[in-house]
Amino acid sequence: MNGADAGPAGVPEAHGGVVLSTARLEMRPLSPAYLPHMRALYEDPRVTEFLVALDEAGHLRRLIEAEEMWASRGLGRVAIHERGSGRFLGRGGLHHWPQFDEVEVGWALRADAWGRGFATEAARAWLEWGFANLDVPYFTAYIAPDNAASRSVAARLGMSVLRTDTFHGRDVLAYALHRGRPRRQTS
Ligand SMILES: CC(C)(COP(=O)(O)OP(=O)(O)OC[C@H]1O[C@@H](n2cnc3c(N)ncnc32)[C@H](O)[C@@H]1OP(=O)(O)O)[C@@H](O)C(=O)NCCC(=O)NCCS
């Protein structure tokens, strides 16, 4: 599965999770242990401007769901840490949405980690890992039309708009990156 051109290998963990490292980041499967980190991340209104609001129970549900998705589908959301310092920067990774039967690559970072290319670096690693390890024809990202920073990340990854859609009751652009299509490799 992880041949010479198979992308980042990742290190398997218990419960089917994978730890993936890049030049600057280490990414670990989300679990309920991350509840304080996720609450702190979502306390910043700059971070949540385009995200679905979550209360304590909502966070916990999502964290349990991440753990279950790693176990059942071999993919899931991750915590993004800075390598070396170990500082928690945000969340990313992959998530299967049953209403679309599509796998999304996600990104949400603490505001003090913006502007350094971390979201792009994290998402690129999961796209490469996903194409190498999952039987998925394309990956998506559902982005509010006004979320310019997120649209820039999608464009930097070579994603393009597949369709407009509704996501959690809001209008979004559904970006996609298809397997085998040439990617625009800008920073
Ligand atoms: C969306 C979000 C993750 C984007 O963060 P970001 O820091 O702009 O994105 P990146 O990590 O890819 O950083 C890119 C920026 O860092 C700069 N950069 C610096 N060093 C870089 C490097 N080594 N590689 C790439 N970019 C680098 C780029 O020039 C770019 O700046 P630009 O946008 O002015 O061109 C962030 O705004 C966020 O967390 N928002 C709140 C949550 C959210 O809305 N998530 C998306 C829901 S769909």
Which of ligand 1's atoms lies nearest the C-alpha of 156?
Answer: 12
Reported pTM? 0.93
The residue whose C-alpha atom lies closest to atom 24 belonging to ligand 1 is 117
Q: Which of the listed residues 47, 107, 124, 172 should we mutate to test ligand 1's pocket, taking the one with most ligand atoms within 8 A of CB?
A: 107
In CATH, what number is assigned to the domain containing residue 45? 3.40.630.30
83: left (phi over 0), alpha (psi -120 to 50) or beta: beta
Q: Mean pLDDT for the chain?
A: 93
Whether the CB of 155 sits within 6 Å of ligand 1:
no
Dihedral sign computed on CA atoms, order 79, 109, 179, 104: positive
pLDDT above 70 coverage of the chain, percent: 92
Q: Which of the listed residues 41, 51, 187 should we mutate to test ligand 1's pocket, taking the one with most ligand atoms within 8 A of CB?
A: 187
**Would you say residue 186 has pLDDT above 60?**
no
In the chain, the amino acid numbered 149 is: A
* Token representation of residue 3: 């041949």
Residue 185 forms part of a structural domain: no
β-pairing verdict for 102-109 and 138-143? parallel
* Residues paired with residue 51 on neighbouring β-strands, in sequence order: none
* Token representation of residue 176: 């996609």
* Residues paired with residue 105 on neighbouring β-strands, in sequence order: 94
Whether the CB of 119 sits within 6 Å of ligand 1:
yes
The parent domain of residue 65 ranges over: 11-178
Phi, psi of 100 (to 5 degrees): -110, -15
Predicted local confidence at residue 7, as pLDDT:
59
Whether the CB of 143 sits within 6 Å of ligand 1:
yes
pLDDT digit string, tens, across residues 97-130:
999 999 999 999 999 999 999 999 999 999 999 9
Domain count, the chain: 1
pLDDT digit string, tens, across residues 31-73:
999 999 999 999 999 999 999 989 999 999 999 999 999 999 9
Residue 187 forms part of a structural domain: no
What average pLDDT does this structure show over 159-186?
88
Residue 6 forms part of a structural domain: no
| Strands of the sheet with 138-143, listed across from one edge | 11-12, 18-21, 25-29, 77-82, 88-97, 102-109, 138-143, 170-178, 160-167
Tell me how far apart the alpha carbons of residues 142 and 180 are, in angstroms, rounded to a whole number: 21
Predicted local confidence at residue 135, as pLDDT:
96
pLDDT band (50, 70, 90) for residue 5: very low
pLDDT band (50, 70, 90) for residue 16: confident
Residue 139 forms part of a structural domain: yes
**Which has the closest alpha carbon to 54: 66, 42, 72?**
42
Whether the CB of 107 sits within 6 Å of ligand 1:
yes
**Which has the closest alpha carbon to 27: 16, 11, 42, 39?**
11
Residue 3 forms part of a structural domain: no
